[in-house]
Chain A
Amino acid sequence: MSQRVSVVENILNANDRLAQENRQRLDTAGVFSLNLMASPGAGKTSLIEQTLPRLAKKLRVAVIDGDIATSIDADRAAAAGAQAAIQINTGGECHLDAVMLQQALNQLDLSQFDLLIVENVGNLVCPASFALGTHKSVLVASVPEGDDKPYKYPGMYRGVDVLVINKIDLLPYIDFRMDYFRRGVKVLNANLVEFPLSCRTGEGLDAWVEWSLGQSK
């Protein structure tokens, strides 16, 4: 005999629940956390490299790096002054999820840190669907990617709290219409906090670092 069973459950419910647990752990330990997302090559790791020395002596920072393979990013974060740098190799998975973050958190004594920076897998699609439990989501866009990315990847632009626009030193050389870009962003996410900057020249980094400091206290 056939029977209909009502379910009405979010498909990513398990991930969302675990993300809440991660958040509670971070809150209990007093650690502020960022989830850095971007396409490959936008400058997530460069941003971390430029940010860490500017936070030295002010905040104790841990970095968790997600990549399909290698520990290149965690090594760079450690060299830039992270008090702890943990590499997660996702083994082909295109995003971090709350389970992976939980496992990485298990390797850290959270009482020793003020700020946790999670560097997600370079990808403008999948990371947007999987909550980690971090406090703020940061999208690192970059000028060479082109000004049409908010139009092509609306899910990512809609879901973040902060937008870093990296590589602004390249604006004179690239047909990047800032007005067109910002128009696409605004309709998706009117309340985004925006930081145009260049990790290469250092322009604009102070405002971003100030924001990170202010949030972490």
Chain B
Amino acid sequence: MHELPVTQSILEIALRHAEQANAKRITDIYLVIGQLSSIVDESVQFYWEIIAKGTIAEDAKLHFERIPAKILCLDCNQEYAPGDELVCPNCEGMHVKVIAGEEFRMDAIDVE
């Protein structure tokens, strides 16, 4: 998995925004991760402790907000959470659209 480059991106984004805010320390980082984004929280946390060392984000706590996947069936307009398959449980429709669960962003940071 690619958690190392992802963690490096998280650090880069947080430091850039902290610098713009003239912050001395980053205390919290709020991440929003969709269920369909293949990222393992524990693994990001593991790399974080290594790469954030020595930066103003060293002691920052990573908050992971997980967004469950939500699918819209374009045949019957039903919204549902996917099981093992994405096929619509209501009409067995195959024309579906992912409307939530692909999020992969940083929403905010707390700084001092």
Please report the C-alpha to C-alpha distance between residue A4 and residue B9 in the assembled complex, in whole angstroms. 20
Q: Is the CB of A94 within 8 A of B2?
A: yes
Residues of A within 8 A of B10 (CB): 11
Please report the C-alpha to C-alpha distance between residue A130 and residue B37 in the assembled complex, in whole angstroms. 12
Which partner residue on chain B sits nearest A15 by CB separation?
A: B9
Main secondary structure of the interface of A (DSSP, over half): mixed
Shortest Cβ gap from A158 to chain B (Å): 8
Shortest Cβ gap from A155 to chain B (Å): 6
- List residues of A (168-193) whose CB comes within 8 Å of B's CBs: 183-184, 186-188, 190
Number of interchain pairs (Cβ within 8 Å):
91
Residues of A within 8 A of B96 (CB): 187
- List residues of B (1-56) whose CB comes within 8 Å of A's CBs: 1-2, 5-6, 9-10, 12-14, 17-18, 20-21, 23, 27, 30-31, 36-38
Shortest Cβ gap from A92 to chain B (Å): 10
Shortest Cβ gap from B93 to chain A (Å): 9
Given known contacts A94-B1, A151-B85, A154-B86, A5 and B6 CB-to-CB distance under 8 angstroms:
no
Please report the C-alpha to C-alpha distance between residue A37 and residue B108 in the assembled complex, in whole angstroms. 34
Given known contacts A2-B27, A5-B23, A154 and B36 CB-to-CB distance under 8 angstroms:
yes
Please report the C-alpha to C-alpha distance between residue A187 and residue B1 in the assembled complex, in whole angstroms. 25
The reply to whether the CB of B94 lies closer than 8 angstroms to some CB of chain A is: yes
Which partner residue on chain A sits nearest B8 by CB separation?
A: A14
Shortest Cβ gap from A25 to chain B (Å): 22
Q: Among the interface residues A5, A8, A9, A12, which one has the most CB atoms of the partner chain B within 10 A? A: A5
Shortest Cβ gap from B101 to chain A (Å): 11
Please report the C-alpha to C-alpha distance between residue A125 and residue B84 in the assembled complex, in whole angstroms. 17
Q: Among the interface residues A13, A15, A93, which one has the most CB atoms of the partner chain B within 10 A? A: A13
Please report the C-alpha to C-alpha distance between residue A158 and residue B36 in the assembled complex, in whole angstroms. 11
* B111: contacting residue among A3, A10, A97, A184, CB under 8 A: A3
The reply to whether the CB of A95 lies closer than 8 angstroms to some CB of chain B is: yes
Given known contacts A130-B2, A187-B87, A2 and B108 CB-to-CB distance under 8 angstroms:
no
Residues of A within 8 A of B63 (CB): none
Q: Is the CB of B84 within 8 A of A155?
A: no
Q: Is the CB of B94 within 8 A of A183?
A: yes
The reply to whether the CB of B67 lies closer than 8 angstroms to some CB of chain A is: no
Residues of B within 8 A of A9 (CB): 13, 17, 105-106
Q: What are 16 A-B contacts defined by CB distance under 8 Å?
A: A3-B21, A5-B108, A7-B13, A7-B17, A11-B6, A11-B9, A11-B13, A11-B104, A11-B105, A12-B6, A12-B9, A125-B38, A183-B94, A187-B86, A187-B96, A190-B95
User: A residues engaging B (CB < 8 A)?
Assistant: 1-15, 93-95, 97, 125-126, 129-130, 151, 154-155, 158, 183-184, 186-188, 190
